[in-house]
C-alpha cells in the first residue's frame, strides 16, 4: 500500500510539473507574440490544504498556495514520509524474522541436546544392567566389573558417539558398546521399554525387536505350499500312428 501511495504521489508531481511546463511554454509564446496569457485558475484546495503545515514555511514572494513550488513541497513531503515508513516496516520485519529464526534455531538445538541426553541415559542404563547381569551369571570379579563401568563412561564421553546418539537406534548403540566391552546383552530385559517398543513398531532394520523379514520362495517352488505343483509332462515324440 505504501509503495502504491508513493507511486501515486510521484505521478501527481509529474502531472503538476507537466502542467506548469506547458503553461510556461504557452506564456513565453504569447509574450513573444505581444499578448498576455492569464494563469489558469488553481484547483479547489483540499480540506487538508486550507491551513499551511507548521513545518513547511510559506514560499517566498507570497505565491498563491496552488503554485507548483508549494505543491511539490507537500507532495514530496508525503512521499518522503511514506518511504521512511516503508523502510521502517521492512527493517522491523527483517528484525522480527531474524529473531524468529534465532528462536527456532535455539529451540531445535535444545531439542537435539535433550534427545541426545535421553539416548545416552538409555544406553548407559542398559549397558550397566548388562554388566551387572554379567557379574551375577559368570561370577566376574568386582574389580573387572568396575573396570567395565569405567570403560563404558569413557566410551560415552567420546565425541564420535555424540552424532551416533542422534542418528542410530538405541539397540544398535547398546550392541556396539557391548561388543566393545565383550559382553552379551540380554534383549529380553528391555522388550517392554518404550524405546524397544518404538523400534518394534517402526520395524527398525537390524533391531532385535523388529519382525524378521519373510523368506522369499525358492525359484521353481510354488508361493503357496498347499497349492498343487504344476507338473508338466515332456512332449511325446510323434509316430506314424498319431492323429494329425
pLDDT of residue 52: 47
* The three-state (H, E, C) secondary structure of 193-238, written as one string: CHHHHHHHHHCCCCCCCCCCCCCCCCCCCCCCCCCCCCCCCCCCCC
For residues 45 and 181, what is the distance between their CA atoms, to the nearest angstrom?
A: 92
Q: Residue 193: its pLDDT value, please?
A: 92
CA-CA distances (angstroms) from residue 171 to 29, 119, 123, 195?
A: 97, 10, 8, 9
Structure confidence at residue 178 (pLDDT): 92
The per-residue pLDDT for 97 is 92
Give pLDDT tens digits along the chain (244 positions).
878 888 888 888 888 778 877 877 777 787 777 765 555 555 554 444 444 444 444 444 444 444 667 777 777 788 888 888 888 988 998 999 999 999 999 999 999 999 999 999 999 999 999 999 888 887 778 888 889 999 999 988 888 888 888 889 999 999 999 998 899 999 999 999 999 999 999 999 989 998 876 555 555 555 555 555 554 445 555 445 445 4
State residue 51's pLDDT score.
47
CA angle (151, 207, 225) in 5-degree steps = 150
Amino acid at each position: 500500500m505504501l509503495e502504491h501511495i508513493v507511486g501515486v504521489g510521484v505521478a501527481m508531481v509529474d502531472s503538476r510539473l507537466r502542467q506548469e511546463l506547458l503553461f510556461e511554454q504557452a506564456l513565453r509564446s504569447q509574450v513573444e507574440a505581444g499578448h498576455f496569457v492569464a494563469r489558469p485558475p488553481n484547483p479547489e484546495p483540499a480540506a487538508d490544504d486550507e491551513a499551511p503545515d507548521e513545518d513547511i514555511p510559506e514560499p517566498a514572494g507570497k505565491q498563491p498556495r496552488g503554485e507548483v513550488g508549494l505543491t511539490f513541497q507537500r507532495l514530496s513531503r508525503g512521499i518522503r514520509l511514506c518511504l521512511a515508513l516503508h523502510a521502517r516496516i521492512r527493517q522491523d520485519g527483517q528484525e522480527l524474522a531474524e529473531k524468529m529464526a534465532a528462536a527456532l534455531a535455539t529451540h531445535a538445538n535444545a531439542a537435539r541436546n535433550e534427545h541426545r541426553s535421553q539416548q545416552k541415559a538409555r544406553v548407559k542404563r542398559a549397558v550397566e544392567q548388562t554388566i551387572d547381569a554379567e557379574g551375577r551369571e559368570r561370577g566376574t570379579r568386582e574389580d573387572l566389573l568396575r573396570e567395565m563401568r569405567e570403560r563404558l563412561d569413557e566410551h560415552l564421553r567420546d565425541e564420535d558417539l555424540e552424532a551416533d546418539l542422534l542418528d542410530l537406534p538405541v539397540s544398535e548403540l547398546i550392541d556396539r558398546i557391548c561388543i566393545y566391552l565383550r559382553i552379551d546383552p540380554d534383549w529380553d530385559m528391555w522388550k517392554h521399554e518404550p524405546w524397544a517398543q518404538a523400534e518394534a513398531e517402526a520395524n527398525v532394520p537390524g533391531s532385535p525387536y523388529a519382525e524378521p523379514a519373510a523368506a522369499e520362495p525358492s525359484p521353481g517352488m510354488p508361493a503357496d505350499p498347499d497349492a498343487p505343483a504344476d507338473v508338466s509332462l515332456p512332449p511325446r515324440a510323434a509316430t506314424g500312428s498319431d492323429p494329425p
